[in-house]
Amino acid sequence: MVKICCIGAGYVGGPTMAMIALKCPNIQVVVVDISKPRIAAWNSDELPIYEPGLDAVVKACRGKNLFFSTDVEKHVAEADIVFVSVNTPTKTRGLGAGKAADLTYWESAARMIADVSKSDKIVVEKSTVPVKTAEAIEKILTHNKKGINFQILSNPEFLAEGTAIEDLAKPDRVLIGGRETPGGQKAVEALKAVYAHWVPEDRILTTNLWSAELSKLAANAFLAQRISSINAMSALCESTGADVSEVAYAVGKDSRIGPKFLNASVAFGGSCFQKDILNLVYICECNGLPEVAHYWKQVVQINDYQKTRFVKRVVSSMFNTVSGKKIAILGFAFKKDTGDTRETPAIDVCHGLLGDKAHLSIYDPQVTEDQIKRDLSMNKFDWDHPLHLQPQSPTAFKQVSVVWDAYEATKDAHGVCIITEWEEFKKLDYQRIYDNMQKPAFIFDGRNVLNVEELRKIGFIVYSIGKPLDP
């Protein structure tokens, strides 16, 4: 029986390994993590992450060929294939701070693999890493362990949170990069054989190592760029009377462009887009390509601009101050169908409004009060002063309450901001909400999910990203 071990039981390690276990009953999969609470949650009925369809997949194979454990070294030592899916956040200090990927977790995982290995292994980069990381990993593994054959593969993950199970079950492609040596190619074939259990052959792409590593950064940069492109257009729409949804529809009908990922919004968020673009910017700079670095930097800068623009619109619409006013924040997760708040635009919007002394009442169906307070205790990333993460003044928390119902959040509020596109926000009784709000009642739809005309008929003053302003 082939044995797989995955280091890192996070948003990627957990679901990807659960899918491999489901589709490959003849493979034993153990997901290991240094976080005891996370592993305990994977072994319980309350999984540590919310992802539609994940519970059923885990329940179908946990205890059969899928296991979660904190005994990292034992399971790594026993595995034939070791996936490494640890976090690779942006470095917060030292060389490259604010841009470069922090590979501390990766390096310690690689050193541990070298330490405990007694047999040949395929080591798979599942985390998103800078191009050429495999070269560094090879050095760590081979210099620390003589006589064992390690083959490094790059197999970046393209799943999107919120649709992870669907994406894993029917991926657009699986990408495997390996060394162009007989050993490297044998390893590529071994990993291909795992995915071939359910992924059609023409969707399994094989490339050299560096192409695979760079493709993941490139894919995220292209996706984020589309959002920044349509968001930049949304600003122009508001100034000219054009409607960004109509523009996006017309533009997306061009088969060379396509309709997906063209929704204007308050901004993109999540743990990956900004981090991976900053990483790309840093790699370009290190490779003497400042113009290319500048080009990609703009994608992040437009994203920041969009968040600032949204906050300014809220404040200016409400007679240039939100001081002492209650603002309901509906949605805190960075997108619907996830409880993940990493880099969510909600953080910057809340900081902006708190800065003008608003009182915030926050509701999200999947995000806990602890998460929200932890997120708001950090200040935002400032491009000119990389990652000065300072605790928020404790008094700011007196202005924040987290509630468990959208009607409670909006009761007596002066304004409502939609930050996450949760389906339930489309179905709320907006007449009831209007009746219970201060007047004039404002709605700021940061996701363009509400029916502007209907809201205006009720009596709301409505701002929707990139749409003609209230007559």
Catalytic residue set = 272
One of 6, 9, 79, 329 touching ligand NAD (CB under 6 A): 9
Q: How far is the CB of 315 from ligand NAD (least distance, A)?
A: 32
Task: CB nearer to ligand NAD: give 164 or 462.
Answer: 164
Q: H/E/C letters for each residue in the chain? A: CEEEEEECCCCCHHHHHHHHHHHCCCEEEEEECCCHHHHHHHCCCCCCCCCCCHHHHHHHHECCCEEEECCHHHHHHHCCEEEECCCCCECCCCCCCCCCECCHHHHHHHHHHHHHCCCCEEEEECCCCCCCHHHHHHHHHHHHCCCCCEEEEECCCCCCCCCHHHHHHCCCCEEEEECCCHHHHHHHHHHHHHHCCCCCHHHEEEEEHHHHHHHHHHHHHHHHHHHHHHHHHHHHHHHHCCCHHHHHHHHHCCCCCCCCCCCCCCCCCCCCHHHHHHHHHHHHHHCCCHHHHHHHHHHHHHHHHHHHHHHHHHHHHCCCCCCCCEEEEECCCCCCCCCCCCCCHHHHHHHHHHHCCCEEEEECCCCCHHHHHHHHCECCCECCECCCCCECCHHHHHHEEECCCHHHHHCCCCEEEECCCCHHHHCCCHHHHHHCCCCCCEEEECCCCCCHHHHHHHCCEEEECCCCCCC
Half-sphere exposure of residue 193: CA atoms within 13 angstroms, side-chain side: 11
One of 4, 6, 8, 28 touching ligand NAD (CB under 6 A): 8
One of 128, 133, 274, 344 touching ligand NAD (CB under 6 A): 128
Tell me if 11 contacts ligand NAD by CB under 6 A. Answer: yes
Tell me if 336 contacts ligand NAD by CB under 6 A. Answer: no
One of 58, 77, 79, 86 touching ligand NAD (CB under 6 A): 86
One of 80, 105, 138, 459 touching ligand NAD (CB under 6 A): 105
Tell me if 12 contacts ligand NAD by CB under 6 A. Answer: yes
Tell me if 364 contacts ligand NAD by CB under 6 A. Answer: no
Tell me if 7 contacts ligand NAD by CB under 6 A. Answer: yes
One of 88, 265, 274, 303 touching ligand NAD (CB under 6 A): 88
One of 51, 161, 356, 375 touching ligand NAD (CB under 6 A): 161
Tell me if 34 contacts ligand NAD by CB under 6 A. Answer: yes
Tell me if 127 contacts ligand NAD by CB under 6 A. Answer: yes
Contact stretch for ligand NAD (CB under 6 A) within 28-36, 167-175, 190-198, 207-215: 28-36
One of 28, 65, 85, 448 touching ligand NAD (CB under 6 A): 85
Contact stretch for ligand NAD (CB under 6 A) within 6-14, 59-67, 144-152, 455-463: 6-14
**Using CB atoms, what's the residue nearest to ligand NAD?**
10
Tell me if 177 contacts ligand NAD by CB under 6 A. Answer: no
Contact stretch for ligand NAD (CB under 6 A) within 154-162, 184-192, 314-322, 329-337: 154-162
Task: CB nearer to ligand NAD: give 102 or 445.
Answer: 102
Tell me if 87 contacts ligand NAD by CB under 6 A. Answer: yes
Tell me if 231 contacts ligand NAD by CB under 6 A. Answer: no
Task: CB nearer to ligand NAD: give 127 or 229.
Answer: 127
Binding site for ligand NAD (CB under 6 A): 7-13, 32-35, 38, 72, 85-88, 105, 108-109, 127-128, 157, 159, 161, 271-272
